[in-house]
Amino acid sequence: MEQHLARLVTKMRNYQQACNIEKQCLANTQYLYDTIRMNFNIDVKAKAVMVYSFDSELNQTKIIIGHLVVCIEDSFIIDPSFDVFNLKNVKYFDNINTFINSYNIKNNYDAKQIIEEHLSFLKLAIRMNRNEIIISDKKYYDDMADFIVKKHKTNI
């Protein structure tokens, strides 16, 4: 099972990299969530997170307040989005207080903005976990599925 999941996520990220796809965490998470739910007998959930990344070579910090990932068995996070996964030194947070109090984030961002953005992604995760289809870009979702299934001639 782990090898199948690893191959699936790698194919998803390869597609995103080849097509220069960014900011599609909703569709990426929906696709991975759907595929796991339909093909594996494991507990899977969509999860809203906030992301902190620091690239020491460039001395550059990146903060993403609204992001979705997949959580397996309530313990293992898989980020299906190449643009975020590929950042340096990525840390994921699901707790607003911990996020705000880390790395002086509270000095650079409005707490109300962080709470509102995270709550909107929490609502998306809840809907996805209720098995609602909430694809923001159906064409992208379908094109990625075609790439994974047809071009690689693999089925999970």
DSSP 156: -
| Residue 100 near residue 106 (C-beta atoms within 8 A) | yes
Tens of pLDDT, residues 112-145: 888 899 999 999 999 999 999 898 889 999 999 9
User: Using CB atoms within 10 A of its CB, is residue 106 exposed (0-12), middle (13-18) or buried (19+)?
Assistant: middle
Distance CA 44, CA 34 (A): 9
- pLDDT of the residue at 152: 56
Segments of 2-108 assigned E as strands: 44-55, 60-72, 76-78, 90-93
- Which one, of 13, 88, 90, 94, lies nearest residue 46 by Cα? 94
- The pTM (predicted TM-score) of the whole model is 0.90
Distance CA 81, CA 150 (A): 20
Tens of pLDDT, residues 80-98: 999 999 999 999 999 988 8
Tens of pLDDT, residues 36-79: 999 889 999 999 999 999 999 999 989 898 999 999 998 899 99
Q: What is the dihedral angle through the alpha carbons of 91, 92, 98, 102, rounded to the nearest 10 degrees? A: 30
Sequence spans of domains, the chain: 2-151
